Amino acid sequence: MTTDSGTKGEQAMNWQDKGPATAAIRAGEPRSAQGEHSEALYLTSSFVFESAAQAAARFAGDEPGNVYARYTNPTVSTFEQRLALMEGTEAAVGTSSGMAAILSTCMALLQQGDHIIASRNIFGSTTVLFNKYLGRFGVDVTYVDLTDLDAWAAAFTPRTRLLFAETPSNPLNDVVDIRQLADLAHAHDAWLAIDNCFCTPILQRPAEYGADLVIHSATKFIDGQGRAMGGAVCGRQEQIEEVVGFLRSAGPTMSPFNAWVFLKGLETLQVRMRAHSEHAMQLARWLQQHSMVETVHYCGLPEHPGHALASRQQSGFGGVLSFVVRGGQPAAWHVIDATQFLSITANLGDAKTTITHPATTTHGRLSDEDKVAAGIEPGLIRVAVGLEDPEDIQQDLARGLDSL
Ligand X SMILES: *Cc1c(COP(=O)(O)O)cnc(C)c1O
- List contacts with ligand X (CB under 6 A): 97-99, 123, 125-126, 166, 195, 197, 217, 219-220, 229, 231
- Nearer CB in complex with ligand X: 197/381: 197
- Shortest distance, position 70 Cβ to ligand X, whole Å: 19
- Shortest distance, position 218 Cβ to ligand X, whole Å: 7
- Shortest distance, position 97 Cβ to ligand X, whole Å: 3
- Nearer CB in complex with ligand X: 258/339: 258
- Shortest distance, position 87 Cβ to ligand X, whole Å: 15
DSSP E strand stretches across 326-391: 343-344, 354-356, 380-384
- Nearer CB in complex with ligand X: 125/315: 125
Q: Residue of minimal CB distance from ligand X?
A: 98
For residue 343, what are the β-bridge partners? 354
Length of the chain counted residue by residue: 404
- Nearer CB in complex with ligand X: 220/290: 220
- Shortest distance, position 56 Cβ to ligand X, whole Å: 37
- Nearer CB in complex with ligand X: 99/325: 99
Residue 147 · residue 119 · CB < 8 Å:
no
Neighbour-count burial of 218, counting CB atoms closer than 10 A to its CB (0-12 exposed, 13-18 middle, 19+ buried): buried
Under DSSP, is residue 342 helix (H, G, I), strand (E, B) or coil?
A: coil
Alpha carbon 66 to its chain centroid, in Å, reads: 28
Residue 91 · residue 240 · CB < 8 Å:
yes
Tally helices (H) and strands (E) across the chain.
Answer: 16, 12
Instruction: Identify which of 124, 129, 29 has the alpha carbon closest to the alpha carbon of residue 73.
Output: 29
What number of other Cβ atoms are within 10 A of residue 226's Cβ?
17
- Shortest distance, position 39 Cβ to ligand X, whole Å: 22
- Nearer CB in complex with ligand X: 91/165: 165
Residue 159 · residue 112 · CB < 8 Å:
no
* Whole-number Å distance between alpha carbons of 106 and 400: 43
